[in-house]
A = this chain, B = another copy of it.
């Protein structure tokens, strides 16, 4: 919200950046730049680990002073056929293995949907998929966060489109290992947001908090997110809600943007830090 006062003294001790946010950078370059900029946390996307020894990559991040907040992403449990669902479980187990090797305590789940398959059926498959993963998650001490996705992704990316639905499944699964990830981009419009954040908090399910902004106009459904302050989302208000609900973890900047990926990434990172100080 451009009308908010700036907070020049806001510290960066809870600022995390997703590697996908600075996609042009290899993991090592991102880690060096984040550390130099004062960023204290990193969430690693799996593509950033390609061709690397995962444990060594994790050590490299920690040497840079970065806390590893989560691994993105598992999920995609919904499939028309059983073979697809089984392949998804296998891949999710690999994601948990990678998280454990990396030193990430959390895997974020984009839960999946299949065009034309009823959303309720996909949600049932999602719940069964998460339940099937539980032993492996417990064994590796890696938690799982269900991220509700904006309804514009209900066709093929996630049948979980509100925080209420994410809470419902997290509570139905009934394990301390399973919670929710709140991304302002996906949930800002939801009239039940405040009450569902409170509900997640009471249940100890607020595992992650992601920020960015919704630009007007938005010209691409996937890759036109804005920096906090650049759009219509009351990022600070939602931050206040999750903190009232007990969340005190890292605040993760996750931006997919063709526009920003085309920019000099050092300059972009400076703008991220400034946006965080001013609008989060």
Contacts and interface: CB of A to CB of B under 8 A. Distances in A.
Contacts of A154: 188-189, 232
A116 interface: yes
Nearest to A187: B151
A118 interface: yes
Interface string A206-220: 000000001011110
Interface stretch (A155-163, A174-182, A242-250): A155-163
A218 B221 contact: yes
A110 to B, nearest CB: 15
Contacts of A265: none
A6 interface: no
- Per assembly, the copies of the chain total 2
26 contacts: A1-B116, A115-B216, A115-B231, A115-B232, A116-B232, A118-B234, A119-B189, A119-B191, A151-B151, A151-B152, A152-B218, A152-B221, A154-B189, A154-B232, A155-B214, A155-B216, A155-B218, A155-B231, A155-B232, A156-B216, A156-B217, A161-B189, A162-B191, A165-B191, A219-B221, A221-B221
